[in-house]
Structure 1
Amino acid sequence: MPASLPREDRLRLMKFVCSFAWADLEIQDEERTLVGNMISRLGLEEDRKQVESWLKHPPRPEDVDPTEVPPEHRQLFLEAVREMVNADARVDEAEAESLALFEQLLS
């Protein structure tokens, strides 16, 4: 996961990741751990509190608009979201549907 992305895009990525953690309406410990690891990998330590706040209250829907994902970063966003969906080793119906829709919108 490249920390070389512009900060705005790294934060946008984390908004999507956190919004997918909320897909089943429950944040699991494995999902919190994944978010913490992604914060480190993306060099977002100074934004840790902001990102973690999205695990307390999901990002607003208008803040996670797939059409705003830069085309050159779509694969990266999709991989990160898939990682989140699989973080707790359980993919429920709502998560699967959200992921399928996200994949379609980024295609």
Structure 2
Amino acid sequence: MLKNLSHEDRLQVMRFVCSFAWADLEVKPKERALVHKMVKEFQLDPDEAKQVEGWLQVPPRAEEVDPATIPAAHRKMVLDAARRIIKADGNVDPEEAESFELLEQLLA
């Protein structure tokens, strides 16, 4: 599936991942490590990786993570990536669970 994604689509997934890392208002070390691993999995170039690193410093703006902009073909991937990040630290905070549930409903 990753092979079929454009670089912009990969960045879109990473924006959602980073926004979920911020769901509890703190990016924990294990979440940061998973984001870095996903940057490699998504084969992002250095400029794109720098953008992602910026989202770990300051979360993406709300208008940058509009679920309505996710193509139907990519929805499962976004949900899977969001699920990975909220479980990364071994603790799913209520804010993370609520945000994930809302995203799931919006993408249904």
Task: Kindly provide the amino acid, as one letter, of the partner of residue 85 in structure 1.
Answer: I
Which residue is 1:27 aligned to? 27
Q: Which residue of 2 aligns with 1:61?
A: 62
Structure 2 unpaired stretches of 5+: none
Residues 12-67 of structure 1: per-residue CA shift (max 9 Å, x gap): 00000000000000110001100000000001032111101100000000000001
Give structure 1 regions of 4+ aligned residues with deviation exceeding 6 angstroms.
Answer: none
The two structures have a TM-score, normalised by structure 2, of 0.95
Normalized against structure 1, the TM-score is what?
0.96
Tell me which amino acid in the other structure corresponds to 2:64: D
Residue type at the aligned position of 1:100:
E
What is the aligned-residue identity percentage? 52
What is the alpha-carbon distance in structure 1 between the residues aligned to residue 32 and residue 88 of structure 2?
Answer: 9
How many residues matched?
Answer: 107
Range with greater deviation from structure 2 (1-10 or 42-51): 1-10
Q: For residue 81 of structure 1, what is the aligned residue in structure 2? A: 82
The separation in 2 between residues aligned to 1:4 and 1:51, in whole angstroms, is 20
Q: Root-mean-square deviation (CA), in Å?
A: 1.0
Counterpart in the other structure of 1:10? 10
Partner Cα separation in structure 2 for residue 8 and residue 86 of structure 1: 25
Structure 1 residues not aligned, in runs of 5+: none
Corresponding residue SS for 2:95: helix
